[in-house]
Structure 1
Amino acid sequence: MFMHNKKLMYTVRVGEPNPALATLMLEQFGGPQGELAAAMRYFTQGLAESDPGRKDMLLDIATEELSHLEIIGSIICMLTKSTQGKLAEGDEEVAALYADITQGGESHTHAILYGGGPALVNSAGVPWTAAYIDTIGDPACDLRSNIAAESRAKIVYERLINVTDDPGIKDALGFLMTREIAHQKSFEKALYSMQPNFPPGKLPGMPDFTDVYFDMSQDGFDTAGEPADADALDRGPWNTGPEWTIVSDREAQAAVDGGDGTATVKLTAKEKKTAKNFATRTASDPGSDPTTGADLGAGPGAGATKKTRELVDADAE
C-alpha cells in the first residue's frame, strides 16, 4: 500500500523559468537512466524476490525512486511555469511566445505536445518504454545491473548539474545524485552478502576456459600513434597473474575445443537431398562476369567496373 505525503522528499527552489533546461531534465524523468525506470526496475524485482531482506530493500528503494520522480517532475514544472500559462491563455505576442518555447533542444516539442508538463519522454522526446527494465530474475545478475544503473544515473545528474547555474536546482540535483551513491552501496552490500555470488547462476564454467585470456589485440600502437610492443599495451590485472593463461598464438585461438572448428549437423537422407538441391540451385558461377546495373549506370566515383575495363582493353589494342 502506498500513501502520498504532500511534502516533497527534498525542497525544490527554482530561480527562474527555463524551458530549455526543463527539456534536459526530462532525461531523468522519462529517460533510460531516469527515476521512473529505476522505480519500476526495483519494484518488479522486489515483488519477485524470495529473500525477505532483499525484498524490503528493493521495495524501499523503489518507493524512494518514485519520490525522486516527484522531485524531478516538480523541477520541470517550475522551469516551464511561465510557458504553461502563456501557451494556455495565449496572452503574449506571437513572436515573444515563440521565442519562449524555442530556446533550444526539444523545448518546443515539450511545450506544444505536453504543455510544458513533465512528460514521460527523454530529453530527445523519445517515449518511455518498459524496454529500459533489464531485470533477468537472478539476484546476482540483477544486483550488478542495479549497481550499474545507479552509477549511470549519477553521471547523468552530474551532467545536469554542470549545465545550470541555478543554485536551488543544483542543490536538489545534488541530493538526487547523492542518493544514487547510497543506493549503489546498498546494492553492493546485498550482492556481497550472497556467498558465493560469482559466477551468476547455478552452473559452473568449463574449467578449461574460465582462466584463459585470448589476446586478440596484437600489433599495437602507443598514444603517439607509433608502433609499440603489444605485450606492453594490453597487460593488466584483467589478464596477468597466476590465475590467467594468455593465449596469443593465432592458431591456438581457433578450434580451442580440440575439434576441427567446423559446424556440422546430422540430417536425414531426405533433408540431405533437399539441402543439396538448394545449394545446387543457388550456387554462384565464379567464372562468370555478368554485366550488371552497376556497370550500366556507372558514373564518377563508381570505381572500376566492367565497362571501364573494356575501355582500357580497347585503348590497349
Structure 2
Amino acid sequence: MFMHNKRLQYTVRVAEPNPVLASLMLEQFGGADGELAAAMRYFTQGLGETDAGRKDLLIDIATEELSHLEVIGSIVAMLNKGAKAQLAESAMEEAELYLSMTAGGNSHTQSLLYGGGPSLTNSSGVPWTAAYIDSRGDPTCDLRSNIAAESRAKIVYERLINVTDDPGIKDALGFLMTREIAHQKSFEKALYAIENNFPSGKLPGIAKYANVYVNTSQGDGDVEGPWNSGEQWDRIDDLTLTMPIDDGDGTASVGLDATDAEVAEALAARTASATSENPTTGVDLGAGPGAGRVTAQDMGAADDIQDAMKLADAM
C-alpha cells in the first residue's frame, strides 16, 4: 500500500514560465532514462526478487523514483503554467499565442493535449513505453543494468542543468542528479554483496574461449591496453586462427531424415543458378547514360553509351 504525502521530496522554485525548457525536462519524466522508467524497472524487479535485502532496496528506490517523477513533473507544470493560462483564456493575440506554443519541440503537444501538464513522453513527444524496462530476472545482470541506468540518468540531468540559468530549477535538478549517484552506490554494494557475481547467471563460460581477445579491427589506430593485452588475455592477431576457432570445419550443417533430405535436394535443384547463362534484364532494356556495362545483343551499344557520357562531361 502507498500513502501520498502532498509535500514534494524537494521544493520546486521556478523563476518564470518557459515552455521550451519544459519540453526538454520531459526527457526525465517520460524518457528512456527518466524517473518513470526507473521506478517501473526497480519496482518490477523488487516484486520478483527472492532475497530480502535486495527486495527491500529495490522497493525503497522504486518508491523514491516516483517522488522524483513528481518533482520533475512539477517543474514541467510550472514552466508551462503561463502558456496554459494564455491558451485557456485566450489572453494573447493569435500570433503571439501560436509562437509561444510552437517555440519548442513538444510544447504544442503539452499545451493542446495535456493542458500544460507533464505528458508521459520524452522531449521529442515519443510516448513512454514499457520497452524501456530491460530487466532479465537475474540479480547480477539486473543490478549491472541498474547501475548503467543511474549513470545515464545522471548525465541527462547534467545536460539539463547546463541549458537553464534558472537558479531554482538548477537547484532541484542538482538534487535529482545527486540522488542518481546515491542509488548507483547502493546498487554497486548490492552487486558485490553477491559473492560470485561475474559472469551473470549460473553456467560457467567455456574455459578455452574465456580469455581470448580477437583483434578483428586492424590497421592505424590499433592500441594495446589491459582490455586486450597482458597475462589475462590470449590475444589473436592472425584472424585465420578464428575461422573457425573450434575444432570443426567452419561450415553449417544439419542432420535431416530421408524425407526432409529428399525435399531439400529437390528445392536446391529447382532454384539452382544457371551460371553459364547471361540473361538480358530490365536493366539492360532500359539502360541509359550512367548505367555502366550492361548485357546487350550488340555490346557496342554499351560503348556508345560510355562515349556519350564522356562527350557530355567534355561539354
Q: TM-score, normalised by structure 2?
A: 0.92
In structure 2, distance between residues paired with 1:109 and 1:94: 17
Q: Secondary structure at the match of 1:183?
A: helix
Q: CA 1:111/1:302 → structure 2, altered by over 3 Å: closer, same or farther? A: farther
Deviations 1:239-284 (A, max 9, x none): 1221210011121011111110111100011101111111111122
In structure 2, distance between residues paired with 1:109 and 1:157: 23
2:311 match: none
In structure 1, distance between residues paired with 2:289 and 2:78: 57
Q: CA 1:146/1:303 → structure 2, altered by over 3 Å: closer, same or farther? A: farther
1:160 match: 160
In structure 2, distance between residues paired with 1:208 and 1:274: 39
1:22 match: 22
In structure 1, distance between residues paired with 2:268 and 2:294: 28
1:258 match: 247
> Among residues 276, 282, 288, which one is paired with 1:293 in the alignment?
282
2:301 match: 311
Letter matched to residue 216 of structure 1: T
Within a 5 Å distance, the mapping from 1:43-58 to structure 2 comes to 43-58=43-58
Letter matched to residue 177 of structure 1: M
In structure 1, distance between residues paired with 2:292 and 2:150: 50
1:226 match: none
1:228 match: none
Letter matched to residue 254 of structure 1: M
In structure 2, distance between residues paired with 1:179 and 1:314: 72
Within a 5 Å distance, the mapping from 1:1-317 to structure 2 comes to 1-221=1-221, 233-306=222-295, 309-312=299-302
Letter matched to residue 209 of structure 2: F
Deviations 1:50-105 (A, max 9, x none): 11111110000000000000000000000000111122222321111101111132
In structure 2, distance between residues paired with 1:151 and 1:135: 16
In structure 2, distance between residues paired with 1:140 and 1:280: 51
Letter matched to residue 195 of structure 2: Q
In structure 1, distance between residues paired with 2:242 and 2:17: 60
**1:110: Cα distance to partner?**
2.6
Q: CA 1:176/1:309 → structure 2, altered by over 3 Å: closer, same or farther? A: farther
Q: CA 1:165/1:295 → structure 2, altered by over 3 Å: closer, same or farther? A: farther
Letter matched to residue 71 of structure 2: I
1:229 match: none
Letter matched to residue 188 of structure 2: E
Q: CA 1:309/1:117 → structure 2, altered by over 3 Å: closer, same or farther? A: farther
Q: CA RMSD in A?
A: 1.8
CA contact (8 A) 1:34 1:153 kept: yes
In structure 2, distance between residues paired with 1:20 and 1:149: 26
Deviations 1:161-196 (A, max 9, x none): 111111111111111100000000000000001011
**1:302: Cα distance to partner?**
4.0
Same amino acid, percent of matched pairs: 66
In structure 2, distance between residues paired with 1:3 and 1:9: 14
Q: Secondary structure at the match of 1:208?
A: helix
CA contact (8 A) 1:80 1:116 kept: yes
In structure 2, distance between residues paired with 1:315 and 1:186: 71
Equivalent pairs counted in the alignment come to 305
In structure 1, distance between residues paired with 2:113 and 2:82: 16
Uncovered stretches (5+) of structure 1, i.e. residues with no partner: 222-232
CA contact (8 A) 1:161 1:170 kept: yes
Deviations 1:135-174 (A, max 9, x none): 0000000000000000000111111111111111111111
CA contact (8 A) 2:214 2:239 kept: no
CA contact (8 A) 1:217 1:234 kept: no
Q: Secondary structure at the match of 2:207?
A: coil
CA contact (8 A) 1:121 1:128 kept: yes
In structure 2, distance between residues paired with 1:92 and 1:302: 59
In structure 1, distance between residues paired with 2:73 and 2:305: 73
Letter matched to residue 243 of structure 2: A
In structure 2, distance between residues paired with 1:3 and 1:206: 50
Letter matched to residue 190 of structure 1: A
Could you tell which deviates more after superposition, 66-75 or 279-288? 279-288
2:313 match: none
Could you tell which deviates more after superposition, 301-310 or 131-140? 301-310
Uncovered stretches (5+) of structure 2, i.e. residues with no partner: 307-315
Q: CA 1:271/1:310 → structure 2, altered by over 3 Å: closer, same or farther? A: farther
